[in-house]
Every structure is written in C-alpha cells, then in structure tokens.
Amino acid sequence: MMQDAHPSVKPHEVLTEYYDKDSEKEKFLREMFDTSAKHYDRILRYGFFGMGGHYRYRSLKQAGLRPGMRVLDIACGTGGVMQQAFRITPLSNIVGLDPSEGMLNVARGKFPDATFWHERAESIPSADKEFDFLVMGYALRHVSTFDEAFREYFRVLKPGGKVLLMEISRPRSHVGYLLAKLYLKQFVPALSFVICRDRAARKMMRYFCDSINACASRAVIVESLKQAGFEAAQCRTELGLFSAFTARKPD
C-alpha cells in the first residue's frame, strides 16, 4: 500500500499474521532471525540462484564505496554485504551491526577478525561522524520508523559520507507484482522448507514477501532520507524489483 511521506512513517503497518502490535515487532524479528540464521545462506543460494553477490558488489561500487573508506554495515546478517565490501576496502575498516545474535554468530564464523556490534539500527553504538559509507542490505523493512533509523545514519556519517540502502520493492506493474508474489511467497518458502526441513525457515520467507508487499513506497523512502538531512537522495530500480536508495550527507 502506498503511503504519504511523513517524518515518522513506519516501513509498514502491523502484519497481524506474525505479531499483533508495533511493540511486538522487534521481538518477533529477533526470534525469527535467531532461529533461522543457520539456514539463511542456503536459502539465498538456492532460492535466488547465488546472484546476490554480484549485485551487491556492483551497487556498492556505483554508490561510491572506495578503498580505504570506513564502512558501517547495518543489519549485516550473515555477512553477505560485508563479503562484497571487503573486496573494495579492508576488513579492518568494516563494522557489522545486527540485532540478531544468531545471524551475527554465522557472520563471525566467516569473518573472525571483523568487528561486530549486537545492536539495532535505531541505536548505533558509535561516535558521531565516524564512518565514510553506510550500507543496509534488504532490511529497511525491519526498522521501527524511517526517521529514527535515518537520524542515526546521518549522525554516524562523516560530512560527505554516503548511504546505500538495498531493498526488494513491490513491482509497480500488476503482472510484475503477481509474478513476484508467486515466486517470493509460494516458491521460495516451499523451497526453503524442502532444503532446510524447517517450518521456521519457510515462515521467514513468507514474512519477507508480506513485508515487501506492505512496505512504504520508494517515494516515501526517498523523502524520508531528505527529511533526515541527506541530499541527492534517489532510487535506482532494476527489473522492477531491486531498489538501491542512495544519498549523501552534506559537507
């Protein structure tokens, strides 16, 4: 459903199939990711044909990530974005943040020398103006409100710092929407259960589809970035589905 731009807009309304009120969303998400973290990489590999790495790397480069930059990877999950950022800038320059200890445990196994913070996007344990580049991969739907998260992003970035938010968005065309819904809500959850033999993994992927379908429009997200103080906020969409939101903190 499309929403009007507002500084306190939520990513989406309450999804009562999964939790009953806004105050329960964080607990639901934390438990879901903690439980399904061990399956996450396998689902992405088979459900999305292993194509995510190339897209993440290309998006990071296009958004302006350069060697030597200090990077904050918000909602780093199992380290998919971090892996691609490490191809551009040293691992010692990258910090991964995630509220799910289960997801962080998987990421730590891949990058034992990296720095990780167990925290929410809305309360980053960082000094002001610490990072050159901030990235969030496919988790914007999980924040409480855009203004809470974007204020923090603005705070921790250096003047001139850049932000990249990668997200899966609801296709604008009716046919595209139906095809995406069929694939994301029927095929991927079913495949997740077949390869993981875990109902929690299937539920996680169904939630992904429902939260994508309910998420605020691209225009609302761009406007929320502007209201947080960012400039040059824009969205680039590929295949009608993959959105890359970019913006810059003024000098």
**Over the stretch 34-43, which tens digit does the pLDDT of each residue have?**
999 998 888 8
Task: DSSP letter for 5, please.
Answer: -
CA distance 6 to 248: 20
d(CA 215, CA 203) in angstroms, rounded, equals 18
Pull the structure tokens for residue 90.
Answer: 């040293």
What pTM did the predictor assign?
0.91
Domains of the chain by start residue, with CATH: 26-172+216-248 (3.40.50.150)
Res 53: pLDDT? 87
Positions in the chain short of pLDDT 50:
1-6
Quickly count: other Cβ atoms within 10 Å of residue 231's Cβ. Answer: 11
**Which residues are CB-neighbours of 34 under 8 A, at least 6 positions away?**
100, 101, 102, 103
At 5 the pLDDT is 42
d(CA 238, CA 241): 6
